[in-house]
Structure 1
Amino acid sequence: MAEREGPRLDVPRTPRRSLLPEYDPDVFGRTSERIARFLGTGRFLVWMTVVIVAWVGWNVVVPDPLKFDRYPFIFLTLALSLQASYAAPLILLAQNRQDDRDRVNLEQDRSRNERSIADTEFLTREIASLRMGLGEVATRDWIRSELQELVRELGQPPPSDRNDQDH
């Protein structure tokens, strides 16, 4: 056989090096959920308020050479915009992951519910067949009443209960 040039289909390709950083999407998702959960707490609001009050207080009270962000507080505005630009996508990512979990839980609940309905229908059919079967079984009372009818038909007095005969 002649050697064929080109890639072989029976050998896995070697992984290509990428210029983009590699990351685990699950770890990134869990981290973004933790951040989003923290951004929605009172603790975050308190810390953010403390930082902003300290920032503004420092830049208003201290002498001019020590101020790092004068009155219009442009650097503070930039920092808050940067924080907001990262917070919004992280919150959306966390919400998407929660929606995916909710969808999976809903599907599992739906399938569990379908199995429960099928089991209930099966048990209902089984109980109905048992009732039908029990309707054809001779019970002690039925046999006793049939025997009493036969004794009456023969013209003899009905037998007394066993308790009466023992005394």
Structure 2
Amino acid sequence: MPKFNCSLCGTPVDGRKLISPQKLENQILDIIKRDRPEWDAKRGICPHCHEQFRAKKFLGYLEKEYEKISEMEKSLVTQIARRGRVSRMVQQEYEAAMTLGERVADRVAKFGGSWTFIGIFGGILLIWMALNSWVLLRRPFDPYPFILLNLALSALAALQAPVIMMSQNRQAEKDRLQATQDYQINLMAEVEIRDLHDKMDGLRYKQWHELWHMQQRQLELLEHLHKELAHPEEKTLEPAPYKPPEL
């Protein structure tokens, strides 16, 4: 069979193995014309070049799908490819980056939502009302209905509310970071489990393949033994030595 040169790489190839442009997919043709604008689409290409451009086509598919995923998923794909760790101490990292004002706000919110604060505040109210009702009955500094006390309570509530809201917003941010990390860990675990299943399926297929060849070998030996016992005067060729099958 005469050989012809590949129109892309120039390698001589058997004429039957050349792939004509009419048999190529339109997407592969577009990729070839994009990468090799000088290519003459009238002559065939070799199987090696065909596989290269098929790989580029599928790589283009993967790149398009990769662009659709979020930045978090891209980071996760990179970690999986590098066999890196995804888990980290989110709470400690977030708290280490907090400013002094944020730490004070969290402590104020924590103290304001405790029974200690309720007890101290209730005691102050009782003492305030007792002083202005009985102890300082002649010259109270805040007589009934305790207008100064109401002003102090309103000012305290006005200051305490935004502090508590800031603390709640930071806690919500911590929860979002923790939820994101949980999602990444779960997704990575799912990918690893699927990979493990694929490996187990491959091992099982390999074992069945080897068992099948071993059974065939046993049948050949039994057939050889049967011929020797049935016709001892005839010389039969021994089966070839056993070689493990290759997958």
Cα displacement (A) at 1:123 = 1.0
**Structure 2: unaligned runs, 5 residues or longer:** 1-96, 231-247
Q: Does 1:155 align with 2:229?
A: yes
Q: TM-score, normalised by structure 1?
A: 0.70
- Equivalent of residue 144 in structure 2, options 71, 96, 104: 71
Q: Which has the higher contact order (CA 8 A, sep 6+)?
A: 1
- Equivalent of residue 42 in structure 1, options 115, 118, 124: 115
The one-letter code of the counterpart of 1:109 is D
Q: Percent identity?
A: 30
**Structure 1: unaligned runs, 5 residues or longer:** 1-23, 157-167
Cα displacement (A) at 1:154 = 3.7
CA distance in 1, matches of 2:202, 2:181: 32
Cα displacement (A) at 1:33 = 1.0
Q: How does 1:83-102 map to 2 (within 5 A)?
A: 83-102=156-175
Specify the alignment match of 1:117 in structure 2. Answer: 190
The one-letter code of the counterpart of 1:79 is A
The superposition leaves residues 33-72 of structure 1 with CA deviations (integer Å, 9 ceiling, x where unpaired) of: 1111111111111111100001001111114455221111
The superposition leaves residues 87-132 of structure 1 with CA deviations (integer Å, 9 ceiling, x where unpaired) of: 1101110010001111111111111111111111111111111111
Q: Does 1:132 align with 2:205?
A: yes
Return closer, same or farther for 1:153/1:59 CA change in 2, 3 Å cut-off.
farther
Q: TM-score, normalised by structure 2?
A: 0.48
RMSD of the alignment, in Å? 2.3
Specify the alignment match of 2:27 in structure 1. Answer: none
Cα displacement (A) at 1:26 = 2.1
Matched positions, count: 132
The one-letter code of the counterpart of 1:77 is N
CA distance in 1, matches of 2:152, 2:170: 27
The one-letter code of the counterpart of 2:167 is A
Corresponding residue SS for 1:93: helix
The one-letter code of the counterpart of 1:51 is I
